[in-house]
Amino acid sequence: MIPKELIRFKEVGKPITVLTAWDSISASLVEAAGADVVLVGDSLAMVVLGHQTTLPVTLEQMLHHAKAVGRGFSKPISEQPLVVCDLPFLSYQCGEDKAVEAAGTLLKNSCTAAVKIEGGESEIIKVIKRLIKMGIPVMGHLGLTPQSVHQLGYTQQAEDKISQQRILEQAIELEKAGCFSIVLEHIPSTLCGLIKNNLKIPIIGIGAGEDCDGQVRVTADLLGLSEKQPPFSKALIPGKRICIEALKAWVDQQQHLATNPTTESSQQESDY
Ligand code: KIV
């Protein structure tokens, strides 16, 4: 699937599912789950690399993880999810040439088919237009844009009429610039619905209510593995607890076997 085919999903009312992946194991889970799009999100800075924000992750690290994601797929290429990779902080804010080089590096060396960029200011629109002119599809990202955490915080955005109007206008500009879809993060659901109804390209929400063309989630949040669970993304299972209990049972069993060497070794592991 090429990125602009997602616009067809919106036209026919097919909800779009987007899940993050950061390595071959997470990619294989997300592919098997049937997600339409895999996002190699810069949230991997926190989820995988232990940073407090997305700011420290580098282009080299994003590429390293995008390559691992590609190696995790097992279906034929035509059946694999579409891969979108985040352009990390400072890889596109310093101008169009740098952005083309960064995005091109991801497309040239990994399974990445499109990049995601945060913001809707005029400088960002210029970058997006240049990328698209160079044949690189772009997904926009408005609302809570984590690369601007020091300006916005992690709180809900667009709470007043002026900032709501600004986000609506920016979304329209992103569509005009040629983005094939936009992520709207942590904004009021009424604003999300309004933008969805005014745009032809799909609106993918996270913490933006149900009135979207699709939803995106950080896979580690859904699996209950994240250190900090965002208030708008509920865990489906207590993954961390389940994993710790399983590992602890194994550790305890090894310790028990060491002190009771006659115990049947065939009992050590289950028959998965
Ligand atoms: O980096 C990421 O995982 C994201 C999603 C939260 C949309 O940008």
- Cα separations (Å) of 79 from 4, 74, 94, 172, 204? 16, 9, 36, 31, 21
Ligand 1 pocket residue status of 206, Cβ below 6 Å: yes
pLDDT, tens digit, for every residue of 19-51?
999 999 999 999 999 999 999 999 999 999 999
Q: In this structure, which residue's CA is closest to atom 7 in ligand 1?
A: 216
Same domain, 126 and 91: yes
Say how many domains are in the chain.
2
Q: How far apart are CA 54 and CA 35, in angstroms?
A: 23
Same domain, 50 and 124: yes
Q: Which residues constitute the domain of residue 264?
A: 239-272
Same domain, 243 and 226: no
Same domain, 184 and 248: no
Q: In this structure, which residue's CA is closest to atom 1 in ligand 1?
A: 41
Same domain, 129 and 160: yes
Same domain, 143 and 46: yes
Q: Exactly one of 185, 210, 264, 269 is catalytic; name it.
A: 185
* DSSP SS3 for 138: strand
CA 71 to centroid of ligand 1, rounded, Å: 21
Ligand 1 pocket residue status of 86, Cβ below 6 Å: yes
- Ramachandran sector of residue 95 (left: φ over 0; alpha: ψ -120 to 50; beta: rest): left
Q: How far apart are CA 175 and CA 7, in angstroms?
A: 11
For the question of residue 185 being annotated catalytic, the response is yes
Nearest-atom number in ligand 1 for the CA of 42 is: 1
Per-residue pLDDT of the chain (272 residues; tens, 9 = 90+): 899 999 999 999 999 999 999 999 999 999 999 999 999 999 999 999 999 999 999 999 999 999 999 999 999 999 999 999 999 999 999 999 999 999 999 999 999 999 999 999 999 999 999 999 999 999 999 999 999 999 999 999 999 999 999 999 999 999 999 999 999 999 999 999 999 999 999 999 999 999 999 999 999 999 999 988 898 999 999 999 999 999 999 999 999 888 888 755 555 566 66
Q: What is the CATH number of the domain that holds 200?
A: 3.20.20.60
- CB neighbours of residue 127 within 10 Å: 25
Same domain, 259 and 151: no
